[in-house]
Structure 1
Amino acid sequence: MSPRPDAGQVAAAQKLEVHRRLREIEAEILARTPENNPEPSLDRVAKCMQLLGDPQHNFPMIHLTGTNGKTSTTRLVERILREMGLSTGRFTSPHLHDMRERISLNGNPIEPERLIDVYDDVLPYIEMVDLESEAAGGPRMTYFEVMVVLAYAAFSDAPVDVAIVEVGLGGEWDATNVANGRVAVITPISIDHQRLLGNSIEDITTEKRGIIKADSFAIVGRQYPEADELIAQQCEQVGADLKREDIAFGVTERETAVGGQQITVQGLAGQYADLFLPLFGEHQAHNATIAIAAVEAFVGGGEQPLDRDVLQAGLAEATSPGRLEIVRRSPTILVDAAHNVGGVEALRAAVNDSFTFTRLIGLIAILADKDAEPMLEALEPVLDEVVVTRTSSPRAMDPRALGELATEIFGADRVHIEPHLVEAIDKAASLADEQGGVGGGVLATGSVVTAAEVRAALGVTQT
């Protein structure tokens, strides 16, 4: 007669089974059409939601779009609301290390067991929609559509007091847009994802403004004039209450501080003086201001000031992993997920604003479908030398091609090519140490994948 397993053995076996099932689910979702190639229709996700009983209508929502700053602003909104005592669901994309990061409950990635339960609950309905779509000659539900279904089902099941949801791409045809946000947030719009969204600010804005719904608030960051005009037209058409940065709210004072910055904000309903924000760069001050206005609109219709101490407590605990984040000291290594010209320009300004390196080495890996040349041109003034490399992404630009572009911009004596990321990190750190002394630093950027893989290589995986 074999001995009975003890409690520890049972727990270990259960943990292994959870891990196995989670990897299986991830593989099933990843086998679908990837998120960088979305299918421009809400039909599939809307049908799946309908079969599930429309769980996306079981909680109020703050919906966010824009070109840059979406994830940071989403995290700031969620952190403030959680400090106010609300139960929160947060949906962001893409993830840095683990798919579960995209679906967060009260600030933490969804637990593996809960994700498994939700997936098993919704899978029959997803498969029904797949069959119906394929029978009509269409595609199965995409990777991103499935993640949206999982998020909305998880938020409804929790339940949450409020969901803070970042679009995946665009707005009007984004899968998240099957829900109606009580507050729609639009961070600055610039050129990105031209293949999918169009080649002009007007085209991109027309897509992004689609998250603004009837009788909602539209909290809008600084925009190009043509974007402002199109957003105002949408608000007028649907009857939304438009609140623009620098008109209805804004940053009134700002100064850099150790570990971040000190800001004073004029909100929709009150002024909040001397708030410490542990994030770097003027763009993060504007993200925080947009977040404050969004919270004011959500909790009091823009007419009730927030408790300043609660607001400060929320901001003081704010994090934005992979966004001008210090992941190592001696030398200082920063990672930033900037992956378009607008993001790189904000990054350059933030480096000049918040850091005083004696020598800064760039560690650059860019995806092949991005406009690498203007990104490199924008970075050139703040980088003494660059080490170009590649990530594990199948979309990664070949380091030799990236190196040729960099050489044209920086000159051959300032460019180093290291095809393997780990060796590239070592090379950049060595250059920073040898020539920069105690004031040397490394800036790793070019894509979200670059930020994620440098973080992981240095043992930083917390999000």
Structure 2
Amino acid sequence: MEHETIHYLERLIRKDFRLNLEAMREACLLFNNPQETYASVHIAGTNGKGSTAAFLSSILQAAGYKTGLITSPHLVDVRERIQINRENISWEALTELIKNIRALLPEEEYLSYFEMTTLVGFEYFSKMGIDIAIVETGLGGRLDATNILKPQVAILTPITLDHQIYLGDSVTKIALEKCGIVKPEMTVVSAPQVEEAALVIEESCQKLGVELKWADPETIDFPLNLKGEYQKTNAACALEAAKVLLIEDLVESIAPNALAKTEWEGRLQTICEKPTILLDGAHNIAALESLAQYLVATYPERKINFLVGALKDKNWVEMFAPLAPVAKRFVCVTPPSERGLPAQELANHLKEFGKPVEVFEESPAKALKTLVSQMTPSDLAVATGSLYVVGDILKCFPKPV
């Protein structure tokens, strides 16, 4: 059952990044638009979408709402993409829904992988009678498959350069694509933004007569389970959105405990203490800058073993530069993806930083085991650069070791 489902979905991968809503609209219509049978929150942005979604889910669950969650990509199991109250969809439900959808589609491979899993999520939520869905965009916003939603709230997390091939070569162009999720009769919550993005957001909201609320990280004056100063921004976005959806006094009373318990794998996650091993899915310049800031603040005067990999369509030439000042060495691997950049190509570039660079021609998980065997208990290693690298490692290190 599991293998057949995965095999079918993998056949759809080649249609991913189809920036066109026509197929998704037609497919949802075949199922009477299940995404319109419950309230929803739509999240776009460059960094922090998943963490923000997890934070908001925690608050809504604490308020008693049956909460659906659609995120991507998954780390270990495709079922991570579709959750209710943070529980993955079952293999039985996933398989049955895909079977039903395939039976009605005009062609066997009519939808992309992302479109199929999104439609499965929409239909699953409708059948399970959820109260509200939190849906993360896959790429951009305006032409993303999730943008057939009619949400009550849209959240815009920090917008920076990423996916320039698809979204444009400037923050302004990328912000315009992200703001494509803004629609009349909703409330928009935005994280603090760089000036170019802030101007686009303000103009988009003014044009549609939409209320805009700015999240303030300073309102998060209580501890969070998720590490990193930047998580205050994600938590603040979730908090502000919850205040739009719920009674503010209720949010104020339940949010601190809900946010403090929120978990989200693959973001500054410690999987081993001696030696210390961290996983972080940072995969663009802004995210790797945040990672470097965290490492400098948390491990001052420590030089770090970095296990790194990147996708070909990322700005891999520049994005690892923030790590160079704190690097002891770089170990390069190839992410397990058709889009994975060959480790040797990355290594050739990283040598320019003047730090030792090695290539491990094995999976990220096996490469980490090799790296750990060369470390002392007091050493520190960080695996980063791609969620595909992090996911491969988590398959072998599912719990702290």
TM-score normalised by the chain length of structure 1 = 0.82
In the other structure, the counterpart of 1:441 is 380
CA–CA separation in structure 2 for the residues paired with 1:371 and 1:295: 34
Q: 1:460 offset after TM fit, Å? A: 4.0
Q: Which has the larger radius of gyration?
A: 1
Q: Do residues 293 (structure 1) and 260 (structure 2) align? A: no
Structure 2 equivalent of residue 251 of structure 1: 217
Partners in 1 of 2:366 and 2:13 — Cα distance? 32
Q: Which residue of 2 aligns with 1:237?
A: 207
What are the Cα deviations for residues 393-419 of structure 1, in whole angstroms up to 9, with x where unaligned?
A: 2222222221111111133xx222212
Residue by residue, what CA displacement relative to the aligned partner does 1:97-141 show, whole Å, maximum 9, x if unpaired?
Answer: 11111000111110112222322332222x22x38xxxxxxx822
Pick from 1, 4, 7: which aligns with 1:27? Answer: 7
**Does structure 2 conserve the Cα–Cα contact (< 8 Å) formed by 1:361 and 1:385?**
yes
Q: How far off is 1:427 after superposition?
A: 4.0
Displacement of 1:357 in angstroms is 6.8
Secondary structure class of the residue paired with 1:47:
helix
Residue of structure 2 equivalent to 1:49: 28
Change (3 A) 1:294 1:223: same
- Structure 2: state its 5+ residue gaps: none
Q: CA deviation at 1:23?
A: 2.0
Does residue 345 of structure 2 align to residue 345 of structure 1? no
Instruction: Flag the 1:417–1:56 CA change in 2: closer, same or farther, 3 A.
Output: same
C-alpha distance in structure 2 between counterparts of 1:34 and 1:79, whole Å: 34
Q: Deviations over 1:32-52 (max 9, x none)?
A: 1446x4222111111111121
Q: Is structure 2 residue 101 aligned with structure 1 residue 122?
A: yes
* CA pair 218-361 structure 1, distance change in 2 beyond 3 A: same
Pick one of 219, 231, 250 that aligns with 2:189.
219
1:71 paired to 2:50:
yes
Check whether the contact 1:64–1:184 (CA below 8 A) recurs between aligned residues. Answer: yes
Q: How does 1:113-152 map to 2 (within 5 A)?
A: 113-125=92-104, 127-128=105-106, 130=107, 140-152=110-122
Which residue in 2 is equivalent to 1:10? none
Q: Give the corresponding residue for 1:456.
A: 395
Separation in 2, partners of 1:92, 1:180 = 17
Q: Does 1:164 align with 2:103?
A: no
Deviation at 1:307, TM superposition (A): 4.5
Paired residue secondary structure (1:276):
coil
State percent identity of aligned pairs. Answer: 31
Instruction: Find out whether 1:417 has 2:359 as its counterpart.
Output: yes
Whether contact under 8 Å (2:335, 2:386) holds in the other structure is no
Give the direction of change, closer, same or farther, for the CA distance of 1:357–1:441 in structure 2 (3 Å limit).
Answer: farther
Give the Cα separation in 2 of the matches to 1:34 and 1:343: 27
Q: Distance in 2 between matches of 1:394 and 1:51?
A: 32
Alpha-carbon displacement from aligned partner over 1:205-247 (angstroms, at most 9, x marks no partner): 11110111111111011212121111112111222110123xx
2:324 alignment partner, one of 367, 371, 380:
380
Structure 1 residues 124 and 239, CA gap change in structure 2 (3 angstroms): farther
Which aligned pairs between 1:88-127 and structure 2 lie closer than 5 A?
A: 88-125=67-104, 127=105
Amino acid at match of 2:397: L
Equivalent residue letter for 1:251: P
Residue 182 of structure 1 and its aligned partner are, at CA, apart by 0.5
What secondary structure does 2:179 align onto?
Answer: helix
The answer to whether the Cα contact below 8 Å between 2:38 and 2:126 also exists between their aligned partners in 1 is yes
Cα deviation, residue 431, structure 1 = 4.6
Contact 1:281–1:353 (8 Å) recurs in 2: no
Cα offset, 1:54, TM superposition: 1.1
Which sections of structure 1, spanning at least 5 residues, go unmatched?
Answer: 1-20, 132-138, 253-263, 266-273
Instruction: Say if 2:122 is the partner of 1:180.
Output: no
Which amino acid letter does the alignment assign opposite residue 383 of structure 1?
A
Say if 2:147 is the partner of 1:204: no
CA positional deviation for 1:25: 2.0
Instruction: With a CA cutoff of 8 Å and minimum separation of 6, indicate the structure with the bigger relative contact order.
Output: 2
- Asked if structure 1 preserves the Cα contact closer than 8 Å seen for 2:242 and 2:251, the reply is no
Residue 302 (structure 2) aligns with: 358
SS at match of 2:239: helix
- Give the structure 2 partner of residue 60 of structure 1: 39
Shift of 1:332: 1.0
**Equivalent position amino acid for 2:76 in 1:** H
- TM-score normalised by the chain length of structure 2: 0.94
Shift in alpha-carbon separation, 1:357–1:99, aligned structure 2, 3 A: farther
Contact kept in structure 1, 2:142 and 2:181, CA below 8 Å: yes
Determine the C-alpha separation between the residues in 2 that align with 1:430 and 1:79: 38
